[in-house]
Amino acid sequence: MSNPNVVIVSAKRTPIGAFQGVLTPLTAPQLGSAAAQAAIAAAGIQPADIQEVIMGCVLAAGLGQAPARQAALGAGVPTGTPATTINKMCGSGLKAVMMAADQIRAGEAEVVLAGGIESMSNAPYLLPKARSGYRMGHGELLDHMFYDGLQSPFDGKLMGCFADATAGKYNFTRASQDAFATESVRRAMRALEAGEFDAEVTPVTVKTRKGETVVARDETPGTCDVSRISSLKPAFGKDGTVTAASSSSIADGGAALVLMSEAAAKA
């Protein structure tokens, strides 16, 4: 028996929110629900047609049990549908999609919802010794975003330190990185202005004390001033070449895809 072909039937995402930006009032599962609901609608199916949900999420502390389950239920997926949360660091969402494809190829499911969710703005601080008691002396407060998301568990170095080391190894100069970052921002802004991302973005409603706001446009990279890129200080060491502009942004958002076997998609 040959493995079935896997097709992506739909793909939707929320706007990308800047750190402590417009999407801060929403949790990662809520962002996932918005993306999932839009992906299901775009696929022309019902939530009950989803046979499996797999979502990537790195910063799960403080979200409550089973973030993928929360996102699924928020999108109307029945409680009887299996839901799994994946943590593979930066590759979590992509790994979720890969596992969804594997499920379909293995004949375990024909319709799978997969994607990734993250709200870095809402990552909490941790008190590692609070349960047993601090007893005496100064305590320690850990940043969940740093401790579980951005730094090595082996030596405590931030990911950017390894980016600096890699840039040095392969002779990526500061000037070349600045030029790449500048062009990347310019291209992204041109694409935003031209509406190139409109088809993949689903607007989300943010409720605050001042009322409701509909967010339909990426907040980043609009926060970057390209004229300042060349003057930024190295972010991970005085002799480094990687800056905040040439690094991955700290952001909030959710993305979801509906994958099917080719036969199910044609049915």
- 206 in a structural domain: no
Over residues 68-99, the pLDDT tens digits come to 999 999 999 999 999 999 999 999 999 999 99
- 35 in a structural domain: yes
In this prediction, residue 107 carries a pLDDT of 96
- 184 in a structural domain: no
**pLDDT category, 213, cuts 50, 70, 90?**
very high
Is the pLDDT score of 110 beyond 90?
yes
Q: What is the mean pLDDT of the chain?
A: 97
- 132 in a structural domain: no
Pairing of the two strands 251-261 and 211-215: unpaired
Over residues 164-205, the pLDDT tens digits come to 999 999 999 999 999 999 999 999 999 999 999 999 999 999
Q: Which residues of 186-225 are buried (b: 16+ CB within 10 A; e: fewer)?
A: eebeeebeeeeeeeebbebebeeeeeeeebeebbbbeebe
- 143 in a structural domain: no
Amino acid 3 reads N
What is the pTM for the complete model shown?
0.96
- 66 in a structural domain: yes
- 187 in a structural domain: no
- 231 in a structural domain: no
Domain that holds residue 256: 6-124+251-266
In this prediction, residue 222 carries a pLDDT of 87
Is the pLDDT score of 3 beyond 90?
no
Domain containing residue 90: CATH number:
3.40.47.10
**pLDDT category, 261, cuts 50, 70, 90?**
very high
Is the pLDDT score of 1 beyond 60?
no
Q: How far apart are CA 154 and CA 162, in angstroms?
A: 13
Task: Give the pLDDT mean for 153-159.
Answer: 96
The string of DSSP codes covering the chain is -PPPPEEEEEEEEPPPEETTSTTTTS-HHHHHHHHHHHHHHHHT--GGG--EEEEE-S--TTS-S-HHHHHHHHTT--TTS-EEEE-BTBTHHHHHHHHHHHHHHTTS-SEEEEEEEEEGGGPPEE-TTTTT---SS----EEHHIIIIIB-TTT--BHHHHHHHHHHHTT--HHHHHHHHHHHHHHHHHHHHTTTTTTTB--EEEEETTEEEEE-S--SSTT--GGGGGGPPPSS-TT----STTSPPPEEEEEEEEEEEHHHHH-
**Percent of the chain residues topping a pLDDT of 70:** 99
For the chain, the domain total comes to: 1
Task: Give the pLDDT mean for 23-47.
Answer: 99
